[in-house]
Amino acid sequence: MKVIIGAGQIRYEGWIPTQENELNLLSITDWNKLFSVESIDAILAEHVWEHLTYEEGVLAAINCYKYLKPGGYIRCAVPDINFRNDWYQNMVQVGGPGPIEHPAATHKIVYDYQTLENVFKSAGFIVSLLEYCDENGDFHYTYWNESDGKVGRSFRFDTRNSLEKLGMVSIIIDARKPLIIKV
């Protein structure tokens, strides 16, 4: 079972789309209505975690951990505070750039890669960085398979990017629940 958190209009074959009104990441009641503990193989959350405080992000990661199978993972993408682009930073800032209708109006945090790693490590995950900018603004990329969760706001799939210029990037991680081997 593969689940998209906060799917909006996104639909991928083989993935179950969910919206906040049916699955609030912080509500065990919502999780229990839709899933059994350790029943999910993969979760995709593109630009969701920035709508939670740091503490809420940790709780959401703990809840994901509980419902993922051993060896399951969450692919999470968030805006990157280290991306050196003034337009981008204005668009993703906490509280957003404009009216409440703007998607960023409910941003509560803008992550750097280490802070996002810590959210998921504190829940017990093993974290792999796939895309991010470091403290110097340098972009780092590790190949990832889109069939494991396609992130539209990524180096490869956002049309604002080219080999010559980055226009829209995200911090993208895979956070894997350790495989437990019973003997």
pLDDT for 118-166, tens place per residue?
999 999 999 999 999 999 999 999 999 999 999 999 999 999 988 888 9
Query: In which order are the strands placed within the sheet that holds 126-133?
Result: 15-17, 2-4, 40-46, 68-78, 171-176, 126-133, 139-141
Distance CA 39, CA 51 (A): 25
Q: Is 19 left (phi over 0), alpha (psi -120 to 50) or beta?
A: beta
Q: What residue ranges do the domains of the chain occupy?
A: 2-176
pLDDT in tens, 85-95: 998 998 899 98
What CATH number does the domain located at 2-176 have? Answer: 3.40.50.150
Please give the model's pTM, rounded to 2 decimal places: 0.93
Contact between residue 149 and residue 47 where contact means Cβ atoms under 8 Å apart: no
Which residue intervals of 14-111 are DSSP H helices?
28-34, 54-67, 86-92
